[in-house]
Amino acid sequence: MEDYILISWLNDYIFCPYSIYLHNVYSAVDTKLYYTTAQTKGAAAHASIDGAKYSTHKDDLCGIEVYSNHYGLCGKIDLFQQNKKLLVERKRKIATIYDGYRYQLYAQYFALLEMGYEVKEICFHSLIDNKRYPVELPSGAELDKFEQVVNEVKQFNPDQIKDTLVTNIQKCRYCIYRQLCDVTDYDEDSEKC
């Protein structure tokens, strides 16, 4: 049987493939040692979903595990409003909807469909400003890109990436693993990789 990959790895991979490796290496370490203020606030904002306490509406599914056999993906959804057939991914603050965010939402969407749920709409919800951002259902070129990323993540080998990783100072600056990374030479003081 094919191994499943975590839905969250899709976003991690697009941000920096090596972050998947670092996440697994440091998963047993207390996050206080490497989380930035933004990650700590994001985790706190997500606590109600993780504890399935975000909604008490009987038709709302919060924090349930989902699986896609077709794509070999597993993870959790934030909120599925069954009566509206609406899948919602919550983020603490949304300034830009990145491809990685969308691909996570697509993965959740496909998993729910495979599990027998009818999903008509998908969106992001920004907690800080209480705004919703609708997202088109995946099709055409967007679906092709999503499937390409899923396949790349499945084939990812951290041993091979060290020689080919192209660092991006903008991403390195915001990476939670920047002080622990053994691939980049990112220096917060000089802002150079």
Domain ranges within the chain, ordered by starting residue: 5-157
CATH topology of domain 5-157: Lambda Exonuclease; Chain A (3.90.320)
Q: So what's the pLDDT on residue 46? A: 46
Of 4 and 163, the one with more pLDDT? 4
Q: How far apart are CA 106 and CA 71, in angstroms?
A: 11
Q: So what's the pLDDT on residue 160? A: 75
pLDDT 10s digits, 36-47: 554 445 444 545
Of 192 and 7, the one with more pLDDT? 7
pLDDT above 50: residue 49? no
Q: How far apart are CA 67 and CA 73, in angstroms?
A: 6
Non-local (6+) Cβ contacts of 187 within 8 A are 193
Q: So what's the pLDDT on residue 172? A: 73
Q: So what's the pLDDT on residue 188? A: 60
Of 164 and 35, the one with more pLDDT? 164
